[in-house]
Amino acid sequence: MMLFVSTDGAVRTPSAASASEAAAIHPTRLRLLQVATRLFQQRGYHAVGLAEILALSETPKGSLYHHFPGGKQELAEACITRISASTMAALDDASASGADIIAFLQKLGAESAAWLERTDWRDGSLLAVVGQEHGGGDGPLADAVRIAYQRIEMRLAKWLMLEGVAVARARDIAATIIAAHEGAMLLARCRRDNTPVSLTTAMLCAMVERG
Amino acid sequence: MMLFVSTDGAVRTPSAASASEAAAIHPTRLRLLQVATRLFQQRGYHAVGLAEILALSETPKGSLYHHFPGGKQELAEACITRISASTMAALDDASASGADIIAFLQKLGAESAAWLERTDWRDGSLLAVVGQEHGGGDGPLADAVRIAYQRIEMRLAKWLMLEGVAVARARDIAATIIAAHEGAMLLARCRRDNTPVSLTTAMLCAMVERG
DNA sequence: CAAGCGCTAGACGGATCGGTCTATGATGCT
DNA sequence: AGCATCATAGACCGATCCGTCTAGCGCTTG
């Protein structure tokens, strides 16, 4: 249950992608997406050069521009929509399995903390990093982040409504969860210390419980 | 009452700096700090080139390396410590003026929202942007952000203790406020919509009130 | 005045950036 | 076999990156 980050960015030995995408995605394309996502979520869009992405994924430049004619920007866009898709899928799974929101929040907090520690606080949220760099702008990347957050919020809100929360309140709670969780990940990363994540998780649980 | 952002980045007509620093800071140095802070908090460290900073501040390259021998990195470090200092000063002022935390949180939320809108959601939190880019790393910039967050958190906690909150709880609340507020600013910026800020403010107030 | 210093001014350079281009390897179809 | 298509491979390019360096301005000081 990891939201906002990609955990499959192993280098040269791409872990098996989720079944749905393994069927359709070209191996080179997948490798590029995994490595690029990993690097972008560590350092941001502008801080990572194509040279590094190509070297770590052992891919020649020609292949990149074959699979992503739009170059670096299209690659980053694809990374964002891929993270967005996997996050929504995770939310749907959790919702379908009948878990309640409180359990979900606690699991999210625990696994986020574990992930941060496991990466030595190097990896953050791709959406947050790119979002910070592009803010309220109007480029393709800013749009991709905007849409990703919107869709994730909608899934979360839908789930909350399934649990009986009123429509307007569900959307509010969803947005609050996303904002607080992203902020907690950031602060935890900067401080190399997970307490912001657990504190925020507790606060979010309290908010949801009070309705 | 703005935390985490610089509002004085006017170009070529530097608004009067706070009295304390106007006395000591060389005009050119101040202009560089203002313009650089503004640009960094809009787009991040790596996305902003020296050329743009120099052009907007109408400063030749020689001046930059005279005032900041360490180049771009030292300039960014100075921007971070300057934001950190002004944020701590604002917290001290608010605390000394006898306001309570709830009033502070509401004012912070309202003014942050107004600021986001006024900049057309272009400007974000400098600490957050640079923090995202450098994560838990160990460069001078990562350290500067880490220290800045730590100091701000301590000031906030101190204020909370003045209001009777227990030591440990005060530090927890402070960290939670910072994390949630940063996350709210990010999400609001990405969505070009301030509701995450007001929602988060409400949640934080509820948390503080329950103690 | 001459010397020294703080600061401005911008030319210059090596490195790296993202992107284009041509050539070639691999695969499948007829 | 011959052809077409997908994909790899990397040389190459102009632009931009950050940083160094020398020259000179203006002010104070001896």
Section A163-187 average pLDDT = 97
Q: What does the pLDDT look like over A39-57, one tens digit per residue?
A: 999 999 999 999 999 999 9
The residue type at B88: M
Token pair belonging to A91: 């939310």
- Give the pLDDT of residue B64: 98
Q: Is residue A25 part of a domain?
A: no
Q: What does the pLDDT look like over B159-204, one tens digit per residue?
A: 999 999 999 999 999 999 999 999 999 999 999 999 999 999 999 9
Report the Cα A102 to chain-centroid distance in Å.
20
- Give the pLDDT of residue A82: 97
Cβ separation B182–A183 shorter than 8 A: yes
Nucleic acid strand D within 7 Å of B48 CB: yes
The percent of residues in chain A predicted with pLDDT above 90, rounded, is: 85
Confidence band of A211 (pLDDT split at 50, 70, 90): confident
Residues of chain A with C-beta less than 8 angstroms from the C-beta of B115: none
Cβ separation A187–B178 shorter than 8 A: yes
Q: Is residue B14 part of a domain?
A: no
Residue A161 distance to chain B (closest CA, Å): 18
Task: Tell me the average pLDDT of chain A.
Answer: 93
A179 HSE (CA, 13 A, CB side): 32
> Domain range for residue A104?
74-210
Contacts with B, A 127-146, CB within 8 Å: 127-129, 131-137, 142, 145-146
Residues of chain B with C-beta less than 8 angstroms from the C-beta of A121: 135-136
| CA pair distance A152, A175, nearest whole angstrom | 9
What's the total number of domains in chain A?
A: 1
Q: What does the pLDDT look like over A90-148, one tens digit per residue?
A: 999 999 998 899 999 999 999 999 999 999 999 999 999 999 999 899 999 999 999 99
Nearest to B183 among A46, A180, A192 (CB): A180
What CATH number is attached to the domain comprising A89? Answer: 1.10.357.10
Report the Cα A169 to chain-centroid distance in Å.
24
Q: Is residue B30 part of a domain?
A: yes
Beta-strand ranges (E) seen in A1-106 are none
Q: Is residue A133 part of a domain?
A: yes
Nucleic acid strand D within 7 Å of A62 CB: yes
Contacts with B, A 151-210, CB within 8 Å: 172, 175-176, 178-184, 186-192, 195-196, 199-200, 203, 206-207, 210
Section A170-194 average pLDDT = 98
Q: Is residue B186 part of a domain?
A: yes
Residue A43 distance to chain B (closest CA, Å): 4
> CA of B206: which chain A residue's CA is closest?
A207
Q: Is residue B41 part of a domain?
A: yes
Section A67-92 average pLDDT = 97
The residue type at B53: I
Q: Is residue A172 part of a domain?
A: yes
**Rounded (to 5) percent helix, strand, coil in chain A:** 75, 0, 25
| CA pair distance A188, B122, nearest whole angstrom | 25
Residue A166 pLDDT > 60: yes
Q: How far is CA B64 from CA A56, B44, B70, B73, in A?
A: 36, 19, 9, 12
| CA pair distance B211, B205, nearest whole angstrom | 10
Cβ separation A192–B146 shorter than 8 A: yes
Q: What does the pLDDT look like over B85-101, one tens digit per residue?
A: 999 999 999 999 988 99
| CA pair distance A62, A210, nearest whole angstrom | 55
The list of chain B residues with pLDDT below 50 reads: 10-15
Confidence band of A60 (pLDDT split at 50, 70, 90): very high
Nearest to A132 among B137, B145, B186 (CB): B186
Q: Is residue A48 part of a domain?
A: no
Q: What are phi and psi of B17, to 5 degrees?
A: -75, 165
Residues of chain B with C-beta less than 8 angstroms from the C-beta of A47: 44-46, 133
Nucleic acid strand C within 7 Å of B26 CB: yes
- Give the pLDDT of residue A90: 95
